Amino acid sequence: MRLLQVAHNIANGFFQANHFLVLPDPNPHVFLPDLPYLSIPRFWDRVARIQIQTTPIIKIIAPVDLVHQTSQLIAQLPQPNITTTLASWDKSKNAVISEIYRLIPSKRDWIKNIVIWPSTFGTTCSFNILKEPGDVYIWLRQDQGVSTIVEAILTSLTRQDIFDHLDGTWSESEILVDWLLTYSPLAKLLPPTPKTIKSTRTLQNAGLVQTSQEFLRKIGAPSVPLSHIDTSKFSTSEKQLFDLLTSRSPQIVPFAEISTSLYSAAKSIQRLRDQLESQGLSGSFIQTKRGEGYLLTN
């Protein structure tokens, strides 16, 4: 099921929109094993349209035959081993959780249990989003350590508030967690680790970009050209907004300009993001520039 999640984020453009590179070896971006994905009929088209829920647990809704075929595809891979990391986490988790509650008192006692699933590939970690007290579920890549576990916990606790109450974006959520890991008292409890936003911005040199593009072509993964979006189901205002963002891309369209013509920038953008998601594309292609406006990335 982990492979379906990773493939979904490739096929719907989430990694592309957020500047993650997909590479055939462990790296700070996305590690995807070099497997014959095209041996599964319509693999990329089908994984783009599966449903992935991140609250209250990580849940992947996909056709049974696709799950079976994907399981057979990864059967040849070695089993992940995170025994050493779990031992280190057991020694430090009480102090870490206490410090998290001190830093974020509104979330005190929200974490009931922490369930960690090992993985050999994917992003460094994936996790569910807590909207209320409950269990934290984490997919941890085996080359990662305790700091990555803490990153997942922090994001699980804070992301929904950033989205719902601060109109924040994915990258702004990551910046907050990167800051906490670097400058808060948590930094003294953890070994140094690459930070998400810094990694995705500084490691994208020409060589890595070319390697990723060649690898994606080899395995048949799609690029996501937003110019091919079917706008026939858009409302008049949604199409107007999409055309405006497209015509200005990659420049920013100011909030005031959107609000003037479409009365509510935030609601209009959310409806447009929902339209993208309904076509198997990531809503992350529409980015928010805090204090300025929105832009379409591609």
Instruction: Say what percent of the chain tops pLDDT 90.
Output: 55
DSSP 3-state assignment of 49?
Answer: coil
How far is it, in rounded angstroms, from Cα 291 to Cα 254? 9
pLDDT at 99: 98
Instruction: Say what percent of the chain tops pLDDT 70.
Output: 95
Count of CB atoms situated within 10 Å of the CB of 90: 10
The answer on pLDDT for 260 being more than 70 is: no
CA of 272: how far to CAs of 11, 12, 220, 249, 263, in Å? 19, 15, 28, 15, 14
pTM value is 0.82
pLDDT 10s digits, 131-189: 999 999 999 999 999 999 999 999 999 999 998 888 777 888 999 999 999 999 999 99
18: confidence class by pLDDT, cuts 50, 70, 90: confident
The answer on pLDDT for 202 being more than 70 is: no
Mean pLDDT (whole number) for 214-222: 93
33: confidence class by pLDDT, cuts 50, 70, 90: very high
Nearest to 203 by CA among 13, 12, 22, 32: 22
DSSP 3-state assignment of 3?
Answer: helix
Radius of gyration from C-alpha coordinates of the chain: 20
222: confidence class by pLDDT, cuts 50, 70, 90: confident
Domains of the chain in start order, with CATH, are: 1-224 (no CATH), 226-296 (1.10.10.10)
pLDDT at 276: 85
The answer on pLDDT for 264 being more than 80 is: no
203: confidence class by pLDDT, cuts 50, 70, 90: low
Mean pLDDT (whole number) for 235-251: 87
pLDDT at 172: 86
Nearest to 120 by CA among 30, 241, 181: 30
Top-confidence range, 11-25, 174-188, 276-290: 174-188
